[in-house]
Amino acid sequence: MPAIITNKFRIHNQEQFVESFSESGANVYYLGIGRPQAFTTSTRGDSRTQFEGSDTSPLTPVDSVAQEFHTFDDLLAAKKVTSSDVSVAIARRNWTTGTVYDYYRHDYGHNVTGSTSAVVTADSGATALYDSTFYVLTDDFNVYKCLDNNGGAASTVKPSGTSTSILTTGDSYKWKYMYTLSAAQQANFLSTDFMAVATNSTVSSAAVDGAVNVVKIKTAGSGGTNGTHTGVAIRGDGSGGVASVTVAGGAVTAVTVTTPGTGYTFAYIRNADIVSAGATSLSGSELDVIIEPKGGHGANAIEELGGFFVMMNTSFEADETSNSGDFTTANDFRRVCLIRDPQTGGSASSATTLRGTKAVLVTSPSGNYTVDEEINQATTGAVGKVVEWDSSNNILYYIQTRFNDEGVDSNGNLTAFSGANTITGQSSSVTSTPSSSSTTVDSIAFTSGYAGAEIDADSGDVMYIENRSPITRASDQTENVKLIIEF
């Protein structure tokens, strides 16, 4: 049975997602980073190998139960995403001179009238409005919708200004100003491929529901009396629409809307009405009246421009390392993830940042552990991988994964580090003894020398996972992550 999920459903889902960041009893979201160890072929506790790609070609994450659990294995840290970090977005399309832009049509993808197979197609070849190039961003950070592209000619005059009236440029393109990206939107929600979208209240207030402003010539006809014939009625379910039709060489060459009217959801200009207006003997002309979106052009920029993307903008700042060492700069990361409603100590997480690594406070270290080396503990047989060694405070941060030499012991089990048993670095040969004290060091509360992660393993829902080539952190840099979610 033929059916579709419409773009309005996609926008509805986007709206619900955005609202969930700020409404009462809202969900809480954290953007996490992880995977300090290289992507490689690893060995499981049963001696079978698992291919996980390489640092130059990371594997695409799998939407599976296994992937969600694995995401927590090597999670380094997570930062809360607030409502101010989120914006509805659309694809970015920069205005460039010499480009043929598509124009807005309400019926892309529908069958061409009189045909059982051909469909209405944009100049770019798109058969859906939101796949077409019908809007642009200029270097003034203004966004314009193209209403007419002068018969598929190249755009050579940049649209400008913020008038609520339709703008006709010197290249005979017609544009509708939609909105301007604010300074904050430019800084936070503008990337190479996407940009924020918002409705301009002045433009929205000036929009007219059901007005007709553009008519395209499908078939010019023949035999008509030359001249500009005025007072041609625009018929349909609206009212008040009037056009002038120019005939030259017996064929229709131009149509100008003189009165846009209101209330149209379908409309026609009939050949007979052009004849009655003075184009005697004109036959075969077919004109396509372009129907505006609900509310008129500019009434709702998000819906009109295809705002079914959400952009999140989160920065992992170097000075956040001072916040209980949550975001280490001692190691790189290869994964970004979005987690909804994680927990800390069995309750809903609320802190701005959360440490994902485990930590042990040690005494009498014989030297400095090295990043990414394997560590082993006497007696327990626990295995881990070093994320960071804080020599100033004698804190060893580590992870334990499901693989040999990273978390699984000789029996194939993941055994927790515990007690005052010696911990040895397999590359550095450094040894140390876990402290038996319950104390707070560098804002981390240790119980008998150990501190678990601040985000409970496998809590909440992993909504997004992205594997990347390694991103190296440094104490003097900030990593800005712009995450795009498409609905």
* Torsion sign across C-alpha atoms 405, 410, 413, 414: negative
pLDDT of residue 13: 95
d(CA 221, CA 232): 16
Exposed (0-12), middle (13-18) or buried (19+): which is 53, by Cβ within 10 Å? middle
d(CA 56, CA 137): 34
User: Does 132 have pLDDT greater than 90?
Assistant: yes
> Is residue 484 within 8 Å of 466, Cβ to Cβ?
no
> Is residue 430 within 8 Å of 368, Cβ to Cβ?
yes
Maximum alpha-carbon separation in the chain: 104
Residue range 328-353: mean pLDDT, rounded: 94
**β-strand pairing of 439-441 with 267-268:** unpaired
d(CA 484, CA 377): 42
CA distances from 250 to 222, 224, 228 (A): 5, 4, 12
Give SS3 for 375. Answer: strand
Q: How far apart are the first and last CA of the chain?
A: 23
d(CA 373, CA 368): 11
> Is residue 61 within 8 Å of 467, Cβ to Cβ?
yes
Question: How confident is the model over 217-230, as pLDDT tens digits?
Answer: 999 999 999 999 99
User: Does 112 have pLDDT greater than 60?
Assistant: yes
User: Does 158 have pLDDT greater than 90?
Assistant: yes
> Is residue 154 within 8 Å of 99, Cβ to Cβ?
yes
pLDDT of residue 154: 98
pLDDT of residue 476: 81
CA distances from 40 to 51, 54, 391 (A): 6, 5, 29
pLDDT of residue 323: 57
User: What are residue 218's phi and psi, to 5 degrees?
Assistant: -85, -50
Q: Output the CA angle 169-176-288, nearest 5 degrees.
A: 90
Question: How confident is the model over 70-99, as pLDDT tens digits?
Answer: 999 999 999 999 999 999 999 999 999 999
**How far is C-alpha 233 from the chain's CA centre?**
44
* Unique residue bearing structure tokens 């979610």: 485
pLDDT of residue 354: 94
Report residue 178's pLDDT band, with 50, 70 and 90 as the boundaries: very high
> Is residue 479 within 8 Å of 344, Cβ to Cβ?
no
pLDDT of residue 28: 94
d(CA 299, CA 22): 24
Report residue 160's pLDDT band, with 50, 70 and 90 as the boundaries: very high
d(CA 403, CA 338): 24
CA distances from 449 to 77, 207, 383, 419 (A): 21, 66, 17, 8
Give SS3 for 398. Answer: strand
User: On the CB side of 331, how many CA atoms lie within 13 Å of its CA?
Assistant: 31
Exposed (0-12), middle (13-18) or buried (19+): which is 159, by Cβ within 10 Å? buried
pLDDT of residue 2: 86
Question: How confident is the model over 400-420, as pLDDT tens digits?
Answer: 999 999 999 989 999 999 999
Residue range 330-350: mean pLDDT, rounded: 94
pLDDT of residue 324: 58
d(CA 235, CA 127): 26
d(CA 83, CA 109): 36
Q: What is the mean pLDDT of the chain?
A: 95
Whether pTM exceeds 0.95: no
User: Does 430 have pLDDT greater than 90?
Assistant: yes
pLDDT of residue 329: 87
> Is residue 482 within 8 Å of 312, Cβ to Cβ?
yes
Give SS3 for 386. Answer: strand
d(CA 339, CA 417): 26
> Is residue 210 within 8 Å of 234, Cβ to Cβ?
no
Question: How confident is the model over 1-25, as pLDDT tens digits?
Answer: 788 889 999 999 999 999 999 887 7
CB atoms within 10 A of CB 370: 13
Domains of the chain: 7-86+311-355+456-486 (2.60.340.10), 93-184 (no CATH), 215-289 (no CATH), 358-451 (no CATH)
Strand segments, DSSP code E, in 328-478 are 333-340, 343-344, 347-348, 353-355, 358-363, 374-377, 383-390, 395-399, 423-425, 431-434, 439-441, 444-446, 450-451, 461-471
d(CA 92, CA 44): 44
- Per the document, the length of the chain is 487
**How far is C-alpha 298 from the chain's CA centre?**
22
d(CA 53, CA 231): 69
User: What are residue 50's phi and psi, to 5 degrees?
Assistant: -130, 120
Give SS3 for 160. Answer: coil
Q: Which residue type occupies 172?
A: S
User: Does 319 have pLDDT greater than 70?
Assistant: no
> Is residue 95 within 8 Å of 137, Cβ to Cβ?
yes
CA distances from 197 to 143, 164, 310, 439, 440 (A): 9, 17, 10, 49, 46
Q: Give me the DSSP letters along 223-249.
A: SPPPEEEEEEE-EESSB--EEEEEEET
